Amino acid sequence: MQRTTSIHGRWSHRWVFILAALGSSVGLGNIWKFPYITGENGGGTFVLIYLLCVVLIGLPLMMAEVLIGRRGRLSPVNAIALCARETSVSPRWQLLGWLGMLTGFLIFSFYSVVAAWILHYIPAMAKGVLAGAGIQQTSRYFEALLVSPERLILGHSAFVGVVMTVLALGVRRGLDRAVRIMMPALFFLLLLLLIYAANTGYFKHALVYLFHFDLEKVTPQSVLVAMGHAFFTLSLGMGAIMMYSAYMGRRDSIGRSVLWIGLLDTLIALMIGLAIFPIVFASQLDPASGPGLVFITLPVAFAQMPAGQVLGFVFFILVGLTALTSAISLMEPVTAWTVERFKVMRWQAALIWGVLAWLLGLAVLVSFETMSSLRFFSRNLFDWLNYFTSNLFLPLGGLGLAIFVGWKLSRRVTESELHLQQTWLYLAWYFAIRYLVPAALGIIFVANLYNII
């Protein structure tokens, strides 16, 4: 009675699922957020807390998402409903699928704006527009870019266009092929950057910075940030991983796949840190320079280093690739759901959502221009979207999913679907999904809610 393949298709290999989920999880969170929040929260201490959160909260929640997706084999809304029906639980839980689709769509709309910045920086780096620039010039450059939507609209459109084309082509010809090409390219570029960073003479500083543990730097705030990031970076809480799991093979081990995804996402985050910080240190810049790290601080380093032009070019292509593979996963649930619900062709679903996402992204682009002050992270549409999705919707979605899987689904279903070799492993997971994950996400949600009021 259980389906072995989704109506949308299936990954060509067990590893393609892992690559695709990794493509979703390795994103701006790893390359843009992780380095600067590490910088702001005291380096190594923060990294250690973050690692604990990945293991204790991230992985159990990811297993929960994967098990629903694979059992349901449909978009989150329908996969949740199917699992609910199976255990005679109210199908209302599919609201979580709706929340997830909304969240994905909203995240996408500002992801594509960041992607437009990136697409602007790629040729700018190659041409050496910022050669020899100091921090004043690069911040002025970035601020000027923020308020010139006309210079970004092409990049924004191109990004939406590429994502929607991949989605329109479907699971096998689109997503499967895209991650098989893009993920190896991403690894390769990252390796190049690392080799360069290792030769700056500041690699050791970066190592110390990233791994030095100092108990005094542990604050409640940094624990909160670490918990929040652990599951944002793994793309949890909105059904992206759940959706990709629908295309997974029946026999593939959920535990092992999730372990790989968590391990590689973390490894890549650390590698990016080890690629970025030596470059920052070598140019005597501040590692704790906040959200501007990638667009303001690093360009200064690129402007001054030997071969910096090439380096900057490679770096921004890398950032662009990570944004692209994440963006695909943000829009796949809503695309697949539209196909299921309205029985339309995939390209039609992709086209409709592409147009809508393009319009919202445009509003975000323009919102920077009408800002009263040039301080780019004061609150405009971009900030609100970012804040609501990452800090409220995702934790809420994750919380709901944990309760649904831990408290509502029968143990028979979760146990047989996870199919773990050792009973104690199952019990550990069960404990985490019932208590640890809801507690952590509940705290994050309440704390973030409290922060805005």
Q: Applying CB under 5 A, which residues contact Na ion?
A: 25, 29-30, 233
Round to whole Å and give the CA distance between 189 and 317. Answer: 8
If the CB atoms of residues 167 and 270 are measured against Na ion, the closer one turns out to be: 270
Which of Na ion, ligand PHE, none is residue 139 near (CB under 5 to 8 Å by kind)?
none
If the CB atoms of residues 233 and 289 are measured against ligand PHE, the closer one turns out to be: 233
If the CB atoms of residues 6 and 25 are measured against ligand PHE, the closer one turns out to be: 25
Which of Na ion, ligand PHE, none is residue 238 near (CB under 5 to 8 Å by kind)?
ligand PHE
Distance of closest approach, residue 313 Cβ to ligand PHE, in angstroms: 22
If the CB atoms of residues 80 and 330 are measured against ligand PHE, the closer one turns out to be: 330
Applying CB under 6 A, the residues found at the interface with ligand PHE are 24-25, 27-30, 232-233, 235, 238, 240, 326, 329-330
If the CB atoms of residues 248 and 303 are measured against ligand PHE, the closer one turns out to be: 248
If the CB atoms of residues 133 and 275 are measured against ligand PHE, the closer one turns out to be: 275
Round to whole Å and give the CA distance between 6 and 333. Answer: 13
Round to whole Å and give the CA distance between 168 and 321. Answer: 19
If the CB atoms of residues 200 and 329 are measured against ligand PHE, the closer one turns out to be: 329
Distance of closest approach, residue 63 Cβ to ligand PHE, in angstroms: 17
Which of ligand PHE, Na ion, none is residue 28 near (CB under 5 to 8 Å by kind)?
ligand PHE
Distance of closest approach, residue 22 Cβ to Na ion, in angstroms: 9
Q: Which residue is nearest to ligand PHE (CB)?
A: 29
Which of ligand PHE, Na ion, none is residue 330 near (CB under 5 to 8 Å by kind)?
ligand PHE
| C-alpha pair distances (Å), 38 with each of 28, 50, 95, 212 | 14, 9, 34, 12
Distance of closest approach, residue 33 Cβ to Na ion, in angstroms: 8
Q: Which residue is nearest to Na ion (CB)?
A: 233
Which of ligand PHE, Na ion, none is residue 232 near (CB under 5 to 8 Å by kind)?
ligand PHE
Distance of closest approach, residue 369 Cβ to Na ion, in angstroms: 30
Which of ligand PHE, Na ion, none is residue 101 near (CB under 5 to 8 Å by kind)?
none
Which of ligand PHE, Na ion, none is residue 257 near (CB under 5 to 8 Å by kind)?
none
Distance of closest approach, residue 107 Cβ to ligand PHE, in angstroms: 6
Query: HEC states along the chain?
Result: CCCCCECCECCCCHHHHHHHHHHHHCCHHHHHHHHHHHHHCCCHHHHHHHHHHHHHHHHHHHHHHHHHHHHHCCCHHHHHHHHHHHCCCCHHHHHHHHHHHHHHHHHHHHHHHHHHHHHHHHHHHHHCCCCCCCHHHHHHHHHHHHCCHHHHHHHHHHHHHHHHHHHHHHHHHHHHHHHHHHHHHHHHHHHHHHHHHHCCCCHHHHHHHHHCCCHHHCCHHHHHHHHHHHHHHCCCCCCHHHHHHCCCCCCCCHHHHHHHHHHHHHHHHHHHHHHHHHHHHHCCCCCCCHHHHCCCHHHHHHHHCCCHHHHHHHHHHHHHHHHHHHHHHHHHHHHHHHHHHHCCCHHHHHHHHHHHHHHHHHHHHHHCCCCCCCCCCCCCHHHHHHHHHHHHHHHHHHHHHHHHHHHHCCHHHHHHHHCCCCHHHHHHHHHHHHHHHHHHHHHHHHHHHHHHC
Which of Na ion, ligand PHE, none is residue 240 near (CB under 5 to 8 Å by kind)?
ligand PHE
If the CB atoms of residues 84 and 107 are measured against Na ion, the closer one turns out to be: 107
Structure tokens belonging to residue 363: 């509003």
If the CB atoms of residues 100 and 308 are measured against ligand PHE, the closer one turns out to be: 100
Distance of closest approach, residue 200 Cβ to ligand PHE, in angstroms: 26
Which of Na ion, ligand PHE, none is residue 329 near (CB under 5 to 8 Å by kind)?
ligand PHE
Round to whole Å and give the CA distance between 30 and 37. Answer: 10
Round to whole Å and give the CA distance between 42 and 223. Answer: 11
Distance of closest approach, residue 327 Cβ to ligand PHE, in angstroms: 8
Q: Select from 239, 263, 228, 229 the least CA-distant residue to 67.
A: 239
Distance of closest approach, residue 62 Cβ to Na ion, in angstroms: 12
If the CB atoms of residues 27 and 149 are measured against ligand PHE, the closer one turns out to be: 27
Distance of closest approach, residue 265 Cβ to Na ion, in angstroms: 5
